[in-house]
Amino acid sequence: MRGIDLYVPADRQHHGELSPSASDPPPLDAPAIAQMRHTLQTVAGEVIYALRKTIVEPVFGQIKAGRGFRRFAFRGQARVTAEWLLICLTHNLLKLFRSGWTPQQA
């Protein structure tokens, strides 16, 4: 039976923060957290972990669960599109607000 390779971060990394470079691999009896840290610090681990940014399903889950959006209130392509754009706009604004982002003065 083939095993599944997991790429789960042991520590939180903030946006723009560089990950430390990979050092010598930990011994085989090292804790799983140390092994995962090393795996994610390799070039291959960073490339594979970066693929998580290419999927959009979490956004739909956040909108459905966090915002409670389950069905459109209007009928027709134009009205549904307008409602969806409004939902996406408020979702992104909430993300910016929660992150502490403030607009820069010109």
Convert the pLDDT of each residue in 16-60 to its tens digit.
Answer: 666 666 678 888 888 888 888 888 888 888 888 888 777 777 888
**pLDDT tens figures, 57-98:** 788 888 888 888 999 999 999 999 999 999 999 999 999 999
pTM exceeding 0.75: no
Q: How far is CA 73 from the centre of its chain?
A: 29
Torsional sign, CA 15, 20, 25, 30 = negative
pLDDT at 5: 78
Residue 43, classified by CB atoms within 10 Å of its CB into exposed (0-12), middle (13-18) or buried (19+), is: exposed
